[in-house]
Every structure is written in structure tokens, then in C-alpha cells.
């Protein structure tokens, strides 16, 4: 079945009002899209069953451990292979898992304080002595559920690991470099911020292998997925940022010399590398631009510290209206109060006189109106009398 036919079938099944079919389909579509969009802003959200993708499913066989390193979400796919780690790979993978476990950070700080490691030489000492020191510390502590998990973590993983060519995690689909060759899409590029002797650096690389480490335990097995990567040189000779366009350029022929190829699967982001075209004036041969991709089904926000759901009571209230009292008197703290009080009294007396003058003007205006009315009445009586006298004169003339 084609995706469009499947979508139309779901839309037709959502019709509730047979008299308004189009309106019912539109309302159901808006409701579904709004709910799916809002679910991205809540922590640990679960998508609808019909929208569940491969990268949102939990990893098969993940145990309920007290350590955060064993509670990561992801899923491999494709044909499974077995691989035996070399001594260098075995030690590097185990140390990397220890350093990226939150519960082990306390032991790492104690180790650095006890050994009084100077700056610039801690990396080699940690890789050589910290695993044995950590194992000795956890086996001498009182037994508890978290101590038991730490003991299992300190007992080193198995040398025989599982290998895949595809892995879904954090909304990304990762391929190995060998699996990506000959395909139109490239999913083997990774980016991560790693801690070095000089601080945090941006590391860009290519996935060569995908391994699943398994630790020997008496209970359910504990597994961790790591990527075996080939890192590019993070220094200025291999990685540079264009200050004008903020573009990250990678020299594809330069490599990171120390042997530290492993990275946890849930700590990486996906990138792809685009080579420059051939220029006649600018020599960009061997340089590529690293472009980060956005995860599927997730919204990233660097400004938000915690994912807090929207609450009505957290809205900002409108500003309350404050009634301002009228000024009854003015006080000059630097001058004389008596002068200000005298001026205020004169001002008040002047206002009272103005009010009295206004009242007198109104009374005079009313008197003038009454006088005008009386004059109008007198003029009317006079006109009547004159009319009567004229009539009498006319009658006398008729008699004659």
C-alpha cells in the first residue's frame, strides 16, 4: 500500500459527522498534528503507536540497572557479526566507558587527588592505572545495589563483541563507512565535544565500526553500544572555522594521532561532509565543510536548561492599577519650609478669591437676564396699547 493511500484510509476512518466529511477530516488532522507537535516539548514523551519509528524504540534486552550508562535507548538493525577486540581496543573501550559513567566521576576525582597528577599528564595515567584502582575501591566497599553494578562495571567487558552496520539512536540513523559507500545518502559522519588536556574540543570523525560491549554479571546482561571512529585532527591544521560565515572546514587527510577511537552512541551528533568545487583562484583541495543534520522527531533548544511543561499559574500577571494621591503640600528639604507654606497659603487664598469672583459674575449674569425679561414684557404691553389707540382713530375717521 502506498503512503498516500494509507493516509487517506486513516483520514476516512476519523470522520464522525457524515454530513461534514471534509470538515471532520480537517479537524482530525489538525488535532493529530497539534498533539504531535506539542509532545516534543515534554520530557520523556511517547509518540503514537502509528507514528513510532525505529529510532524511538528501546534497545532490545536493555536491563534495569542503577547505572545511567546501561539505561540508554537505541536499536541496532541488519545482520549481526562477532568480533574479538585487540588489547589496545579492549583497554581503550573499557576506560572510555568508565570515564563517561556519571556514577564513576566521584571515584575519578578521588583518584586524581590521591595521585596528585599534574596537568598535562593525566590522560596516560588514567588509561594505565585508573581501571585497577577503581576495581580495588568498589570491591572493598559495603555491598549495595549500586555497588554491585559498579563491581560488574569494573570487571571489564567481554572480548567477543557484537557488530552491526546500522544503529538508530537520538533520532539519527548511523551507518558504518563501509556500508555507506555506493549510497546516495551518507550517515557515517559524527560530531562530539570531547574533553582533552587543553579543555573541550570539537571532534569530527567517521564511523568505522559499531560494537556492543557486554559485561559479565550474575543477573541480566549489561550492554553498552560504542562507535569505533576515525577522528580528524581537531587542531587548526585540520579543523578551522570561517569567522565570516561560521562554517566548519575539515581537512580530510589529517588525522588525530592519539589512539582513542571509541565514543558512546548516545553522545554523538550526525554530520555530513561536503567537498568544495574546483576553484581556479582558491585552493580548497582536500577540504570539506561539515554540516550538522537535525534529528528526526526531536526539537533541540540550546537556551532551555530544563524541559518544563507549560503551566497557567506561571503566566505573567498584568500590572495592577495604582491610584496616585494628590499633592497636598510641597516641601523643599534644602530650603525654608515657612516660605513654601506661605506660598501654599497664598496659592489657596488666590484660588478661593477666584471662586468668589466666578460666583459674583454668575449672579450678575442672572440679574441681567431677569432685567432683559422685564424689558421684553414692558415692550409687549406698550405695543398692545399703541395698537388700541390706532384702532380708535380709525373708527373716528369712519364716522366722519
The pLDDT value given to residue 175 = 94
Give the integer Cα–Cα distance in Å for 31 and 204.
41
Beta bridge partners of 225: 212
**Placement of cell 525654608 in the chain:** 336
Interacting residues of 249 by C-beta distance below 8 A, sequence separation 6+: 239, 240, 241, 242, 287, 288, 289, 290
Asked if pLDDT for residue 109 goes beyond 70, the answer is yes
**Placement of cell 566548519 in the chain:** 248
**Placement of cell 506661605 in the chain:** 342
Per-domain residue ranges for the chain? 3-51, 54-301
Highest mean pLDDT among 9-13, 100-104, 146-150, 227-231: 227-231
Stretch among 122-126, 158-162, 254-258, 304-308 having the lowest mean pLDDT: 304-308
Interacting residues of 324 by C-beta distance below 8 A, sequence separation 6+: none
Give the integer Cα–Cα distance in Å for 391 and 381.
16
State the cell numbers at 106: 566521584
Stretch among 29-33, 69-73, 296-300, 353-357 having the lowest mean pLDDT: 353-357
The pLDDT value given to residue 399 = 47
Asked if 95 contacts 262 with a C-beta cutoff of 8 angstroms, the reply is no
The pLDDT value given to residue 258 = 85
Beta-carbon neighbour count of residue 95 at 10 Å?
A: 19
Nearest in space to 270 (alpha carbons), one of 236, 306, 298, 242: 298
For 186, the 3-state DSSP assignment is coil
Beta-carbon neighbour count of residue 348 at 10 Å?
A: 10
Amino acid at each position: 500500500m502506498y503512503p498516500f493511500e494509507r493516509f487517506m484510509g486513516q483520514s476516512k476512518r476519523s470522520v464522525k459527522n457524515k454530513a461534514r466529511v471534509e470538515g471532520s477530516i480537517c479537524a482530525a488532522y489538525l488535532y493529530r498534528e497539534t498533539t504531535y507537535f506539542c509532545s516534543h516539548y515534554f520530557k520523556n514523551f511517547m509518540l503514537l503507536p502509528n507514528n513510532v519509528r525505529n529510532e524511538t524504540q528501546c534497545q532490545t534486552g536493555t536491563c534495569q540497572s542503577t547505572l545511567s550508562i546501561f539505561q540508554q535507548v537505541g536499536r541496532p538493525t541488519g545482520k549481526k557479526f562477532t568480533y574479538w577486540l585487540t588489547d589496545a581496543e579492549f583497554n581503550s573501550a573499557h576506560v572510555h566507558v568508565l570515564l563517561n559513567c556519571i556514577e564513576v566521576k566521584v571515584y575519578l576525582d578521588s583518584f586524581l587527588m590521591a595521585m596528585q597528577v599534574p596537568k598535562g599528564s593525566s590522560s596516560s595515567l588514567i588509561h594505565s592505572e585508573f581501571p585497577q584502582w577503581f576495581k580495588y575501591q568498589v570491591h572493598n566497599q559495603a555491598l549495595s545495589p549500586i555497588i554491585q553494578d559498579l563491581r560488574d562495571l569494573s570487571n571489564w567487558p567481554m572480548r567477543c563483541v557484537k557488530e552491526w552496520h546500522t544503529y538508530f539512536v537520538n533520532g539519527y540513523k548511523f551507518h558504518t563507512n563501509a556500508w555507506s559507500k555506493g549510497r546516495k545518502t551518507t550517515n557515517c559522519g559524527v560530531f562530539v565535544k570531547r574533553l582533552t588536556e587543553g579543555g573541550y574540543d570539537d571532534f569530527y570523525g567517521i564511523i568505522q565500526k559499531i560494537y556492543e560491549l557486554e559485561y559479565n554479571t550474575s543477573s541480566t546482561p549489561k550492554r553498552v553500544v560504542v562507535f569505533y571512529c576515525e577522528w580528524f585532527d581537531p587542531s587548526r591544521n585540520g579543523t578551522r572555522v570561517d569567522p565570516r560565515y561560521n562554517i566548519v572546514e575539515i581537512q580530510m587527510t589529517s588525522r588525530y594521532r592519539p589512539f582513542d577511537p571509541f565514543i558512546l552512541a548516545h553522545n554523538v551528533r550526525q554530520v555530513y561532509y561536503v567537498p568544495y568545487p574546483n576553484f581556479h583562484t582558491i585552493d580548497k583541495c582536500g577540504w570539506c565543510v561539515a554540516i550538522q543534520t537535525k534529528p528526526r522527531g526531536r526539537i533541540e533548544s540550546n537556551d532551555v536548561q530544563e524541559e518544563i511543561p507549560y503551566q497557567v499559574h506561571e503566566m505573567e500577571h498584568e500590572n495592577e492599577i495604582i491610584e496616585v494621591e494628590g499633592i497636598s503640600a510641597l516641601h523643599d528639604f534644602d530650603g525654608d519650609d515657612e516660605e513654601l507654606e506661605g506660598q501654599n497659603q497664598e496659592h489657596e487664598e488666590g484660588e478661593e478669591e477666584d471662586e468668589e469672583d466666578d460666583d459674583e459674575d454668575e449672579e450678575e449674569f442672572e440679574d441681567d437676564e431677569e432685567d432683559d425679561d422685564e424689558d421684553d414684557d414692558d415692550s409687549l404691553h406698550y405695543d398692545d396699547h399703541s395698537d388700541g389707540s390706532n384702532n380708535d382713530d380709525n373708527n373716528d375717521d369712519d364716522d366722519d
